[in-house]
Structure 1
Amino acid sequence: MTAPPEVSDPPVAADDAAVIKESVREPERFAVLYDRYVEEIYRYLAARLGPEAADDLAAETFLTAFRKRHTFDPARGGVRPWLYGIATNLVAQHRRGLSRMLAAFRRAPSLETFVAGPEERVPTRVDAAGARGPLAAALAALPSGDRDVLLLVAVAGLSYEEVAASLGIPYGTVGSRLHRARKKVRAALGEVNPVIGDSNG
């Protein structure tokens, strides 16, 4: 009996930076990055602006990245935080005030976010009937830089290094903005830490 022909394993996915470099010569290669990151970029944008705006801005994020792919510098960070940086800039350009973002939070039944200190690395579920309104108001009151850092950590799940690369700010600035934002959010929620139910942390 003849043995079946050997099936070779699929090639290991090229790293993101290599895909970017290849896409300058072969534009169709950029589709790899789209397939790899479009869902998480969409989720981040939907949390900030709602699903309708997220559809358009997710596409715009990748269109902008495609147009600027020749300017990507791997020495400044990875492709993923670069994409989040583009998405965050598009949010700032798109938003007239905070109405869309706040409407998205109000429609959501709950919000997974980090409002605890760095020692409490667990997502906090903020109840829609309880803290959602004050949370939305607290987010609206934050300076835009602090809000961007908080939401990149809470919604996108980026590390401090990735947030720094996304926003073009120093690593230490990420920590100070996040600390300040968390403190203000906790104050808006009556100094109650939703993770542990008291004002510690």
Structure 2
Amino acid sequence: MRLPNEDVAWLAAAPDHAGRPFPHDDGTIIRHSIADPELFAVLVRRHAPAIARYVTRRIGRDAAEDIVAETFLVAFRQRAGYTDEGRDCLPWLYGIATRLAHRHWRSETKQLRLLARTGVDPVTEPFADRVDAAVSASAVKPRLAEALACLPKAQRDALLLLVWADLSYEQISVATGVPLGTVQSRISRARQRMRKQLADIDPQGITEGFPR
């Protein structure tokens, strides 16, 4: 089951649920898919590209394909337990993907440290885009990668869900299954660590660059 590339493209081109109308609310789709499993393909078509981008940034393209596929397989199997009434199930999916990506924690850290040494892979581009324009991106990206590689797992998860997945603090709480106050603390500590390691580059630009 490999969803991010060929299968997702096929789903996007296929008629929605065999040509039948379907609800646009994620929560409603999930509830209806319990009795009508084929309806779950709507969520795959809708959200697989976003999950693929997030996971690929974290662990690389090769490993990401299997993680994205498994994310939707796990979500499908657990859909009866989905209780969020919100319209968007992405925080739930990001949480599953993040937990599955932990299998590749060493690979992710190795990838970040490789970037820190070479500066070749723009894995930290979303951060660099927020750094003051006066700072050279070629100098900043390797340092950002090194700083990310040094973060504890929980802090890195929270920070990357904020910056790469563009989730709110409340959504990160849903994704990670921890209280909102814990999310706030993890992100605050992650920022402090990052600023300390990057202080010699441009402390004000780095500090202002992180989303609030």
- Report the TM range for the smaller structure's normalisation: 0.7 to 0.9
Q: Does 1:197 pair with 2:205?
A: yes
Q: 1:146 aligns with which of 155, 165, 185?
A: 155
Where 1:54 maps in the other structure, the secondary structure is: helix
- Per the normalisation by structure 1, the TM-score is 0.78
AA in 2 matched with 1:111: E
**Counterpart in 2 of 1:169?**
178
User: Cα–Cα, structure 1 residues 76 and 95, in superposed 2: closer, same or farther, change >3 Å?
Assistant: farther
User: Cα–Cα, structure 1 residues 113 and 129, in superposed 2: closer, same or farther, change >3 Å?
Assistant: closer
Q: CA deviation at 1:174?
A: 1.3
**Counterpart in 2 of 1:93?**
103
Q: Does 1:83 pair with 2:93?
A: yes
- Per the normalisation by structure 2, the TM-score is 0.75
Distance 1:85 1:157 in 2: 13
Where 1:130 maps in the other structure, the secondary structure is: helix
Q: Contact between 1:58 and 1:87, CA under 8 Å: does it hold in 2?
A: yes
Where 2:178 maps in the other structure, the secondary structure is: coil
Larger radius of gyration: 1
Number of aligned residue pairs? 184
Distance 1:199 1:65 in 2: 36
**Counterpart in 2 of 1:135?**
144
Q: CA deviation at 1:184?
A: 0.9
Distance 2:148 2:179 in 1: 22
Greater CA drift, 123-132 or 139-148: 123-132
Q: CA deviation at 1:75?
A: 6.0
Q: CA deviation at 1:177?
A: 1.0
AA in 1 matched with 2:182: T
Q: Once superposed, what is the RMSD of the aligned Cα atoms?
A: 3.0
The structure with the greater share of residues assigned to helix is 2
Greater CA drift, 155-164 or 122-131: 122-131
Post-superposition Cα deviations, 1:4-39, rounded to whole Å, max 9, x if no partner, equal xxxxxx968421111001111111100111111111
Q: Contact between 1:152 and 1:163, CA under 8 Å: does it hold in 2?
A: yes
**Counterpart in 1 of 2:127?**
113
Unaligned runs of 5+ in 1: 1-9, 115-121
**Counterpart in 1 of 2:6?**
none
Unaligned runs of 5+ in 2: 1-19
User: Cα–Cα, structure 1 residues 14 and 160, in superposed 2: closer, same or farther, change >3 Å?
Assistant: same
Q: Does 1:16 pair with 2:30?
A: no
Greater CA drift, 83-92 or 51-60: 51-60
User: Cα–Cα, structure 1 residues 175 and 193, in superposed 2: closer, same or farther, change >3 Å?
Assistant: farther
AA in 1 matched with 2:181: G
Q: CA deviation at 1:157?
A: 0.4
User: Cα–Cα, structure 1 residues 200 and 168, in superposed 2: closer, same or farther, change >3 Å?
Assistant: closer
Q: CA deviation at 1:133?
A: 1.9
Which 4+ residue blocks in structure 1 deviate beyond 6 angstroms? 198-201
User: Cα–Cα, structure 1 residues 104 and 26, in superposed 2: closer, same or farther, change >3 Å?
Assistant: farther
Distance 1:13 1:149 in 2: 31
**Counterpart in 2 of 1:117?**
none
Distance 2:194 2:56 in 1: 21
